[in-house]
Amino acid sequence: MTRLPRPARWLVALSPVPPDTRSEVESDLLELFAVRRRDGGRLRAHVRLYHDVASLWLQRRPSSPAAARRSPFASMRDVPGDLKYAARLFRRQPAILCLTIAGLSLGLGIATAAFSIMNAALRGEGLADPDRAPVVLRTTDRSVSTAWKYDEFVHLREGSTRMQVEAVLTESAPVHATPGEGDAPSTAVAFVSGGFFAAAGGRTTLGRPLEAADERQAGPPPVVVSFVFWASRLDRDPAAIGRTIHVGRTDATIVGVAERGFSVPGNRLLWMPATAYGAVYGSGAGRHTPDAGIQVFGRLLPGVALAEAEAQLSGVAASLSNGATAGDSPLRAKLDPRAGLGRMSRSDALGIAVFVFAVIGLVLLLACANVATVLISTAITREREMGVRAALGASRGRIFRQLVTESLALGAVAAAVGLLVARWALPTIGTMIEAPAGADLSPDLAVYLFLAIVTLVTGVGAGLAPARHGRDADLVAPLKGEGASQNRVAPRRLRSMLAITQAAVSVLLIVLATLFVRATFRAAAIDVGFDAAGLYAVSTALAASDDSVAALRSFQARAMSELQGMPGITAVALTELTPFGGATKSAITRDVPARVVHFNGTDAGYFETMGLRTLAGRTYSRAEVEAGAPVAVVSESLARAYWHDRSPVGQVLPREIPASPVQPVVIGVVADAITARLHERNALAFYQPIDHSSGVPAQLLMRVSPGASGVVEQANQRLRAIDPQADLRIASIASLLRQEAGRPRMLAALTGIVGTVAVVLCVIGLYGLTASVVGQRAREMAVRAAMGAAPRDLTRLVMWDSLRPVVIGLAAGVAAALLASRVVVATMFFGVSPQDPVAFAGAAAILLVAATLAVLVPTRRAAAADAALVLKQS
Amino acid sequence: MKGERLGEFEEFTLLAAGALGDNTYAVPIQQYVEKVTARPISIGSIYAALARLEDKGFLRSTMSESVSQRGGKSRRVYTVTPSGLRTARDLHRVRERIWNAIAEGGRS
């Protein structure tokens, strides 16, 4: 061996050993290492070697001239002194301190808030190893669905040998956390099979997860509450286990509190066994499990490939005697790990993540530039102090360290304030983006870590600019006299660069914010083809726990006649799907390119209730619905897509559109309506008479005449009177539509807030910069004034000098915004052109006005100064 | 003046340097001290002690000629100065006196 082990060499290099003796120390260590390896073996030699290396730190040599050069860590000892000095300095300049801290903490706070939200979104729901936990899709030749019947699930579970098959059904129910609570908010409940927690990888903070035995338990059903529920509704009660809460129509005993971050599927707040379904929704004896609409997923057993499990499960599914609903082809199971349990698709999340990170980066760049601007302007006035320090023997490195320490100290204070800003902003932003109730937005370790790293980077970054300036500055000239530094203005290029950066980032952010704001309005203004106001969906599906389809039908028939007779209700219809109700049925056409066609089963009154005009032919009659006639009504867009200018009436629905059980005959064309996935704006649709035997629970849709008040409440009471046991929920379609249209609102809110902050930061920075430049040029301006320049000329001179970089930055920002708006997924804009002239012109105007104001104030003050006085003073 | 006195470890180091003869260096000193005290001694503490002894004038160091077994590098070699030798002897004498007193029954 001729050299020390590499780690030891590195450690020696970092140690306080003076560089000129380092090679000697290494030789000594190597010699000892060799001797010890010979005498005591490799391990012992290594242990002693690192002991020796450590001793180089612990056993300091007394200071000798050669030892004055220290290791990088040794400089940490200067920190307390530097901090003390920074504190004294900032006390002398409180205005600059406040300005800087305000700017930086605003930037850090917003960045932290944005990161928290994205962190919450990206954290997902806590499904362990999602690639091994695929969703089981129910497929036939014609359809793909996520919904299974409970019996089918039980069959799958019993037959599966390659994966653990579990079920989950998501519903909401009013939950009273305490007995005395008044109007309990509806809370998302997941009804799960016994092995759900085991398969999803959910753990508990308190108590235990649900287990297989819970499915068969008598008495009050067990419930596992989420961490958010425990924190917000149970006040983190450490004795929550065993407490009773009221869920729907039953008491439930809390058996566990889920681990923080576990909210599968889709931000659930409560988990209960599927067998508790009947109790929650208030049925008597008979079926206790939900009927249909069960999502099935599974955990692949170790070593089992996806295809293998799929083939095995398909075999099980095929043996289900289910010809009636599956048409002519047997049922198959398809495993899809990407569909996940309602989790956001990865590409969506990634797109938003990239976007949010870009925004955060821009804001921090801005805050950094801003702080650097302020520090530079102080650095200029501190040239004399730096000169003194240099003259007293401070190395440039030492001065550099001091400047970085100062900006880091600033950063630390700003980070603390920023955290407060973030804590304050988070609930506000959470409301703005309509975060789901189960979402956990409070900052976690990752957020604090993010803030710390960002503060460090920003602090060092902001300190670097003036430090660089300090390095290049002539440290001796300022000592010779005031005059020398008076003529020296900060390096013009650096100053301009900072102003350009600030302006460019501001413009970019404002443009994006404006685009998103416009997209929000545009989304709200998308013509869905029907009037959502006054339209209500009455969900009665859950009252069907009395098992028989006939009971549900008779209830719905009575409900319809009851509602039709009510004043204020203009129309009532029965439909499989309600607009924006969450569920969709769609077929993918077999032509190229494939289209997505929505279809829906309705009764005869649906078109009147929705307010869809009949454009050609007619809609189906009540008799046709009763008979289940093979007829269909198509939307205008569908008619145009397949029949172009010809009339589709009397034609058979094209073979390309899969329909079951036979291709129906088109009897009419109705106006387009968008009833799901607003951003797709897909109005291709056909309607068929509702098939009551399909087992799909129908829902009521009612239209309330405009101006009628209290109708919904009355309807609710009347329906309850029919069956007090029934669980009814009446949802306003207009509010569902608003929710759907709120998608771009999150981005609008985020960029809007950030854009505002950007402008404020830009104004602060420009103001500070101009004020310092004007201060330094006071003498020049006084001379100009003495030679006859009018105050207006002086103002124009300085203003143009200060605004020029802003204008350049404006151009750069507009160019960047043009690029960025192309990259951002077009669907987020809901049809607003990424090159929207209003957004660009608006952003430019906002920035120019703000910048002009920021520059005008100090400039005017300087121009108005008494020239004689200024000259006398200098 | 403290600078004239010797700590225990410094004394060991100084004596080891004396025992090993002129132009010895840190590694043999470390091994010698480790052997006679029968406790693990780190090289860092030897460096520190050597530097302090040199500051106090008890040791003198020079750079040696390049040494072949160290890859042609030179090393710092130490020699005990007369004042170092004298101080060590003084210390030894003081100790002897005390030990003698102990042997005679606690009286000096």
- Cα separation, A560 vs A538, whole angstroms: 11
Q: What are the structure tokens assigned to A75, written together?
A: 């400089």
Bond prior to A436 in cis (omega within 30° of 0): no
Residue type present at position A203: R
Cβ contact A64–B48 (<8 Å)? no
With a cut of 90, say whether residue B29 has pLDDT above it: yes
User: What does pLDDT average to over chain A?
Assistant: 75
A501, A525, A483: which is closest to A779 by C-alpha?
A: A483
Cβ contact B71–A62 (<8 Å)? no
With an 8 Å Cβ cutoff, is A32 touching chain B? yes
What is the helix (H) or strand (E) element at residue A119, kind and residue range? helix A94-123
Residue type present at position A116: S
Query: Which of the residue ranges A289-293, A832-836, B58-62 would you say has the lowest mean pLDDT?
Result: A289-293
- HSE of A571 in the Cβ direction (CA atoms, 13 Å)? 18
Using CB atoms, which residue from B27, B43, B51 is nearest to A62? B51
Q: Are B76 and B25 in contact (CB under 8 A)?
A: yes
- Cα separation, A507 vs B50, whole angstroms: 65
Banded pLDDT at B30 (limits 50, 70, 90): very high
Cβ contact A32–B48 (<8 Å)? no
pLDDT of residue A343: 45
Q: What are the structure tokens assigned to A462, written together?
A: 């902001």
Q: If you count DSSP H runs as helices and E runs as strands, how many of each does chain B have, helices first?
A: 4, 2
- pTM to 2 decimal places: 0.50
Place of tokens 């416009």: A518
DSSP state of A835: T
Bond prior to A222 in cis (omega within 30° of 0): no
- Cα separation, A51 vs A868, whole angstroms: 72
- Cα separation, A746 vs A407, whole angstroms: 33
The pairing of strands A294-300 and A163-176 is: antiparallel
With an 8 Å Cβ cutoff, is B25 touching chain A? yes
With an 8 Å Cβ cutoff, is B76 touching chain A? yes
With an 8 Å Cβ cutoff, is A28 touching chain B? yes
What is the helix (H) or strand (E) element at residue A449, kind and residue range? helix A445-472
**Residues of chain B positioned with their CB less than 8 A from the CB of A51:** 40, 42
pLDDT of residue A763: 79
Per the document, the length of chain B is: 108
pLDDT of residue A342: 45
CA B49 from centroid of its chain's CA atoms: 8
With an 8 Å Cβ cutoff, is A27 touching chain B? yes
Distance in Å, alpha carbon of B79 to nearest chain A alpha carbon: 18
Distance in Å, alpha carbon of B96 to nearest chain A alpha carbon: 31
Picking from B9, B25, B31, B43 by the largest number of A CB atoms within 10 A of its own CB, the best residue to mutate is B43
Please state at what angle helix A94-123 crosses helix A396-432, rounded to 10 degrees: 50
Q: What is the DSSP string of A613-649?
A: PEEEE-PPPHHHHHHT-SEEEEEHHHHHHHHTTS--T
What does the pLDDT look like over A626-644, one tens digit per residue? 887 888 898 888 888 888 8
Cβ contact B73–A64 (<8 Å)? no
**Residues of chain A positioned with their CB less than 8 A from the CB of B32:** none
- Cα separation, A70 vs A383, whole angstroms: 27
Query: Which of the residue ranges A22-26, A448-452, B48-52 would you say has the lowest mean pLDDT?
Result: A448-452
Bridge partners (DSSP) of residue B79 are B60
What is the helix (H) or strand (E) element at residue B100, kind and residue range? helix B82-104
Distance in Å, alpha carbon of A56 to nearest chain B alpha carbon: 5
Q: What is the DSSP string of A754-785?
A: HHHHHHHHHHHHHHHHHHHHHHHTHHHHHHHH
Banded pLDDT at B13 (limits 50, 70, 90): very high
Burial (Cβ within 10 Å: 0-12, 13-18, ≥19) of residue A392: exposed
The residue of chain A nearest to residue B55, with distances taken between CA atoms, is A62
The residue of chain B nearest to residue A23, with distances taken between CA atoms, is B73
Torsion, Cα of A813, A814, A820, A825 (10° steps): 140
Query: Which of the residue ranges A109-113, A346-350, A418-422, A437-441 would you say has the lowest mean pLDDT?
Result: A346-350
Whether the CA torsion A395, A400, A401, A403 is positive or negative: it is positive
Using CB atoms, which residue from B27, B42, B52 is nearest to A62? B52
Picking from A2, A36, A59 by the largest number of B CB atoms within 10 A of its own CB, the best residue to mutate is A59
Torsion, Cα of A782, A784, A789, A790 (10° steps): -20
With an 8 Å Cβ cutoff, is A11 touching chain B? no
pLDDT of residue B16: 92
Distance in Å, alpha carbon of A763 to nearest chain B alpha carbon: 56
The residue of chain A nearest to residue B42, with distances taken between CA atoms, is A52
- Cα separation, B104 vs B96, whole angstroms: 12
Banded pLDDT at A743 (limits 50, 70, 90): low
DSSP state of A393: T
Using CB atoms, which residue from A21, A28, A60 is nearest to B27? A28
* A 59-88 → B contacts, CB under 8 A: 59-62, 64
Highest mean pLDDT among A66-80, A455-469, A658-672: A658-672
Residue type present at position B5: R
pLDDT of residue A176: 65
pLDDT of residue A69: 44
With an 8 Å Cβ cutoff, is A57 touching chain B? yes
With an 8 Å Cβ cutoff, is B42 touching chain A? yes
Q: Are A689 and A662 in contact (CB under 8 A)?
A: no
Banded pLDDT at A577 (limits 50, 70, 90): confident
Cβ contact B47–A25 (<8 Å)? yes
- Cα separation, A535 vs A523, whole angstroms: 19
**Residues of chain B positioned with their CB less than 8 A from the CB of A2:** 71
Using CB atoms, which residue from B27, B48, B75 is nearest to A60? B48
Using CB atoms, which residue from A23, A51, A58 is nearest to B73? A23
- Cα separation, B29 vs A846, whole angstroms: 76
Q: Are A697 and A541 in contact (CB under 8 A)?
A: yes
**Residues of chain B positioned with their CB less than 8 A from the CB of A29:** 43
Picking from B13, B42, B46 by the largest number of A CB atoms within 10 A of its own CB, the best residue to mutate is B42
Cβ contact B30–A32 (<8 Å)? yes
Banded pLDDT at A757 (limits 50, 70, 90): confident
With a cut of 90, say whether residue A375 has pLDDT above it: no
Using CB atoms, which residue from B26, B31, B48 is nearest to A59? B48
- Cα separation, A103 vs A414, whole angstroms: 8
Query: Cβ contacts of residue A872 below 8 Å, gap of 6+?
Result: none
**Residues of chain B positioned with their CB less than 8 A from the CB of A54:** 42, 44
DSSP state of A652: B
With an 8 Å Cβ cutoff, is A239 touching chain B? no
What does the pLDDT look like over A98-121, one tens digit per residue? 777 777 787 777 777 777 776 666
The stretches of A777-836 forming alpha helices (DSSP H) are 778-786, 791-823
Using CB atoms, which residue from A23, A27, A59 is nearest to B42? A59
Distance in Å, alpha carbon of B90 to nearest chain A alpha carbon: 25
Q: How many residue contacts between A and B have a Cβ separation below 8 Å?
A: 60
Query: Which of the residue ranges A486-495, A702-711, A742-751, A833-842 would you say has the lowest mean pLDDT?
Result: A486-495
Picking from A28, A29, A37 by the largest number of B CB atoms within 10 A of its own CB, the best residue to mutate is A28
Banded pLDDT at A828 (limits 50, 70, 90): low
Cβ contact A64–B70 (<8 Å)? no
Place of tokens 């929207």: A836
Q: What are the structure tokens assigned to A364, written together?
A: 């921090």
Q: Are A4 and A33 in contact (CB under 8 A)?
A: yes
Place of tokens 């970089």: A805
The three-class DSSP label of residue A290 is coil
Bond prior to A593 in cis (omega within 30° of 0): yes
Q: What is the DSSP string of chain B?
A: -GGG---HHHHHHHHHHHHT-SSB-HHHHHHHHHHHHTS---HHHHHHHHHHHHHHTSEEEEEPPPBGGGTTB--EEEEE-HHHHHHHHHHHHHHHHHHHHHHHTS--
Cβ contact A59–B30 (<8 Å)? no
Place of tokens 């040029």: A777
Compute CA distances A268 → A129, A264, A275, A436, whole Å: 19, 6, 18, 9
- Beta strand extents in A309-380 (DSSP E only): 332-336
Beta-carbon count within 10 A of A499 CB: 26
Query: Which of the residue ranges A424-428, A481-485, A589-593, B85-89 would you say has the lowest mean pLDDT?
Result: A481-485
Beta-carbon count within 10 A of A457 CB: 13
Q: In the predicted model, what is the mean pLDDT of residues A126-131?
A: 69
DSSP state of A475: S
Banded pLDDT at A534 (limits 50, 70, 90): confident
φ, ψ at A223 (rounded to 5°) = -140, 140
The three-class DSSP label of residue B3 is helix
A662, A664, A639: which is closest to A652 by C-alpha?
A: A664
Query: Which of the residue ranges A236-245, A358-367, B89-98 would you say has the lowest mean pLDDT?
Result: A358-367
Burial (Cβ within 10 Å: 0-12, 13-18, ≥19) of residue A562: middle
Residue type present at position A825: V
With an 8 Å Cβ cutoff, is B55 touching chain A? yes
- Cα separation, A342 vs A348, whole angstroms: 13
The complex's ipTM?
Answer: 0.88
Residue type present at position A524: A
With an 8 Å Cβ cutoff, is A693 touching chain B? no
Residue type present at position A676: A
What is the helix (H) or strand (E) element at residue A39, kind and residue range? helix A19-40
φ, ψ at B77 (rounded to 5°) = -115, 150
Q: Are A134 and A300 in contact (CB under 8 A)?
A: yes
- HSE of A757 in the Cβ direction (CA atoms, 13 Å)? 29
Banded pLDDT at A695 (limits 50, 70, 90): low
The pairing of strands A665-670 and A631-635 is: parallel
What is the helix (H) or strand (E) element at residue A204, kind and residue range? strand A204-207
For A405-418, give one letter per residue: b (16+ CB within 10 A) or e: bbbbbbbebbbebb
- Cα separation, A784 vs A780, whole angstroms: 6
Query: Cβ contacts of residue A451 below 8 Å, gap of 6+?
Result: A108, A112, A115, A415, A418, A419, A422
Bridge partners (DSSP) of residue A389 are none
What value, to the nearest 5°, has the Cα angle with vertex A93 and ends A90 and A99?
Answer: 90
Place of tokens 């009636």: A324
Using CB atoms, which residue from B40, B48, B75 is nearest to A61? B48
